[in-house]
Structure 1
Amino acid sequence: MSEPNDRLAALINEAHWSWAGLARRVNDLAAGEGKALRYDYTAVNRWVKKGERPRSPVPNFIARALSERLGRRVSPSDFGMLEEETLAARGLSYGGSPLDTAETIIDLGKADTNRRHIIKVPFVLAALGAPSRDWLLAALDEMSTERGPRQVGMRQVAGMRDMFALFQEMDVMRGGGHARTALLEYMSSYVVPLLKRDHQRAVELALFEASAELAYLIGWMAYDDGEHGLAQRYLIQALHLAQASGAVALGAHVLAGMSDQANLLGHPQEALMLARAGRRGLAEAESAACLADLHILEARALAALGEKTEASRAVSRAEKTLDQVVHADEPEWAKYIDAPYLFGEAAHCFRDLEQVDQLERFARESAQEASRRGRARRGALSHAALAVGDLMRDDVESAASKGIRVVDLAVSVNSTRCVAAVRDLQHRMGPHGTVPEVQRFNSRAQELLGLAA
């Protein structure tokens, strides 16, 4: 037997409503949409006392009735009737008001935090086209990048940006699985209530932009934590908030994240489309770091497609663009787009292209700089690329030694990408299982994989 629904009972009491009154209003709302419902007070009794959940779309009618009565927005998640199948589809939808988008992010977050089945929703390849198309059309035809100085010095927005910087640093240093729940709580308890207030237009735009930054970071954390269907939905909603704010560079940055994810999941053609859409919508003067990122992600997709010449050219463009970056002038979300990151991604391009000299050049620079800055996740990924380079040269012992270094770095972060890199090395070293150094690597790897299970 289900537990009583105390949250629904509290909302009904707050509304000073009888169970029969709520049932009548639910029936009326349904009738307005051509649906014949015959609920009475006994149905509400079952919802409250027994915790029963009526089928969709009834929870939405209950939410609408309570919203009318209370004079504020109430969603099914507020009284424990979140329809996960509906939410999974809503998370892929690109549209509605910015507040609707923020509410979708919060509903995803509630299901995410409670470890409900939404965390197992699939990545949907077909959902990538419409958001990138609509964002690019808006970037080219509607968004003006010369609207004058944005008023971003207001206290609330400054606080949100401080929190973003804090959580991004935690993600970079400790991995996406480390602090996502805390960031979701901040988004739910502080950011969305702030969005619901009336603001001057300049403040409203700044709030949308700061919210988009936070939503992107939540999606990126979910991506790094291996929750790809969930991450995709967060990123789509972040893209819509970025569009609503008029922040073209931020929207391009979200598309970069979507491209990265698509390529990782084995969809390089879609990854290429997303990177190019972001690059086309982005004016170079807005963020050289973001442009460098889009170039390198274009290179990653081209390498996966086997386009050697075009991939090498894209890496060269990324490297040249990085030389133009002035990090002090870049937005906070672009601060991690630097040499350790970009050279690490370039190394993986040349890994896919089986060009070992270039792989080692970029991976070595990335690993050294990541070590200097204490960035274990990036260091693990770059050392993994170096290990693959050793295997290409048939230097198995050196590869295994670097693999042990990958494990040592991976245990200090909460990142499924690092775990995947260790598994990939295990697979590649499989034919050399009798080599003592490989055996030592496998022993250490099993310790990590046991912790990650």
Structure 2
Amino acid sequence: MFRDTDNRLGGVLSRKAVAAQLADAVALLDTGSYDEATGRELFAAVGDLGSVAGWMAFDAGRHRSAQDLFITALHAASEAGDRALGAHLLQCMARQMSHLEHFDDALDLVSLAQYGARREATCATRSMLSSLQARFHAILGQVEESERAAGLAEELFTQIVPGDEPEHMAFFDEAELSATLGVAHQIAAKHERDTRRARRAEKSLTLLGRALALRPAHRVRSKAFDALALARTHLTVGEVTGAHRETQAALELFGTIGSKRVSDRLAELHDEAEPYVSTPEASDLRERIQSAIAT
């Protein structure tokens, strides 16, 4: 229920309710009595709930709180002996580090997740971690490493057996894979020139378009991110009309959610459009973003 609320409305509106639920669950661990098997299930449940609470805090821009919640959840996953859940939490922390522009730390956290869950990680977990590697390598300008990681992510995705995946991996579907790799290609395009940049951008647009088409209706924030990523890819190759169109779509979705992360990405798009401000569409794009963020 909390994950669905987060996906539909963002983390700003419900994070306090989830944090309160987590506090009650942690109290059970401290004061209750249970056998080993029940304890493992309880710790795993607390770890999973902590991942949602931490993610909501992150989405709301409460970064210190998010880090504390992720660490609490990571300890619970460790007590449960659930290495796959631990890997999931580490990738959440990696995404936060990337958002805060600590890109080396983000890559290190993904590597730690891969090592810690090396014997228990499902194909979905391994594919997800490789897709994040592709994105972080691209940010660091390591284009060839990004390409290899993207290829591995796609290969592992074809090996997923849905019934073998834990519930916390339900979010990682074809849309999520396509979006993550689409952003990786978009970032890599910035490190390329001429025809290589154009090819990268085309690949990014294809993947992001697929992601947006495949997103379930309740993944509202993800759809806003997809539209934003499409706009940024268009700008990478100077296609202001496409950027303007996708920005309008992103802003319509942004108006229905509370998400500091989406707001931050809109601000980045606003800055990236500055070189094209002499065109009416880029100027309008920036004005619309500024107005949306201000309110």
TM-score scaled by length of structure 2:
0.90
Shift of 1:440: 3.3
Shift of 1:285: 5.5
Are residue 192 (structure 1) and residue 26 (structure 2) matched?
A: yes
Are residue 441 (structure 1) and residue 285 (structure 2) matched?
A: yes
List aligned pairs for 1:239-250, cutoff 5 A.
239-250=74-85
Q: Deviations over 1:307-337 (max 9, x none)?
A: 1111111111112222222334322211001
- Counterpart of 2:275, as a letter, is P
List aligned pairs for 1:133-152, cutoff 5 A.
none
Higher share in helix: 2
Could you tell me which of 143, 146, 149 is aligned with 1:308?
143
Gapped regions of structure 2 (runs ≥ 5): 190-199
Higher-Rg structure is: 1
Distance 1:375 1:284 in 2: 31
Could you tell me which of 241, 254, 266 is aligned with 1:422?
266
Gapped regions of structure 1 (runs ≥ 5): 1-165
Could you tell me which of 347, 360, 369 is aligned with 2:205?
360
Distance 2:112 2:120 in 1: 17
Distance 2:258 2:122 in 1: 29
Q: Deviations over 1:255-314 (max 9, x none)?
A: 111111112222222211111111122246542222111111111221111111111111
Distance 1:246 1:436 in 2: 57
Asked if the contact 1:347/1:382 (under 8 Å) is kept, the reply is: no
Distance 2:156 2:8 in 1: 25
Distance 1:439 1:269 in 2: 34
Could you tell me which of 182, 185, 191 is aligned with 1:347?
182
Per the alignment, residue 412 of structure 1 pairs with 256
Q: Deviations over 1:29-80 (max 9, x none)?
A: xxxxxxxxxxxxxxxxxxxxxxxxxxxxxxxxxxxxxxxxxxxxxxxxxxxx
Distance 2:119 2:150 in 1: 17
User: Percent same amino acid among aligned pairs?
Assistant: 29
- Counterpart of 2:203, as a letter, is Q
Distance 2:48 2:19 in 1: 13
Per the alignment, residue 209 of structure 1 pairs with 44
Distance 1:175 1:309 in 2: 34
Distance 1:337 1:178 in 2: 24
Distance 1:320 1:194 in 2: 42
Per the alignment, residue 227 of structure 2 pairs with 383
Per the alignment, residue 278 of structure 1 pairs with 113
List aligned pairs for 1:385-400, cutoff 5 A.
385-400=229-244
Are residue 234 (structure 1) and residue 36 (structure 2) matched?
A: no
Q: Deviations over 1:140-178 (max 9, x none)?
A: xxxxxxxxxxxxxxxxxxxxxxxxxx1111112221213
- Counterpart of 2:61, as a letter, is G
Shift of 1:251: 0.6
Cα root mean square deviation, aligned: 1.7
Distance 2:218 2:37 in 1: 38
Report the number of matched residues.
Answer: 284
Could you tell me which of 153, 156, 167 is aligned with 1:332?
167
- Counterpart of 2:206, as a letter, is R
- Counterpart of 2:18, as a letter, is L
Distance 2:102 2:58 in 1: 15
Q: Deviations over 1:118-149 (max 9, x none)?
A: xxxxxxxxxxxxxxxxxxxxxxxxxxxxxxxx
- Counterpart of 1:431, as a letter, is P
- Counterpart of 1:424, as a letter, is E
TM-score scaled by length of structure 1:
0.60
Asked if the contact 2:7/2:218 (under 8 Å) is kept, the reply is: no
Distance 2:125 2:205 in 1: 25
- Counterpart of 2:105, as a letter, is E
Cα–Cα, structure 1 residues 223 and 241, in superposed 2: closer, same or farther, change >3 Å?
Answer: same
Distance 2:143 2:132 in 1: 14
Distance 2:97 2:45 in 1: 25
- Counterpart of 1:194, as a letter, is L
- Counterpart of 2:7, as a letter, is V
Per the alignment, residue 192 of structure 2 pairs with none
Asked if the contact 1:346/1:362 (under 8 Å) is kept, the reply is: yes
Per the alignment, residue 275 of structure 2 pairs with 431
- Counterpart of 2:289, as a letter, is A
Distance 1:374 1:323 in 2: 25
Question: Secondary structure, in 3 states, of the residue corresponding to 1:226?
Answer: coil
Q: Deviations over 1:202-223 (max 9, x none)?
A: 0011101100111111111111
Distance 2:94 2:256 in 1: 27
- Counterpart of 1:432, as a letter, is Y
Distance 1:443 1:305 in 2: 30
Per the alignment, residue 140 of structure 1 pairs with none
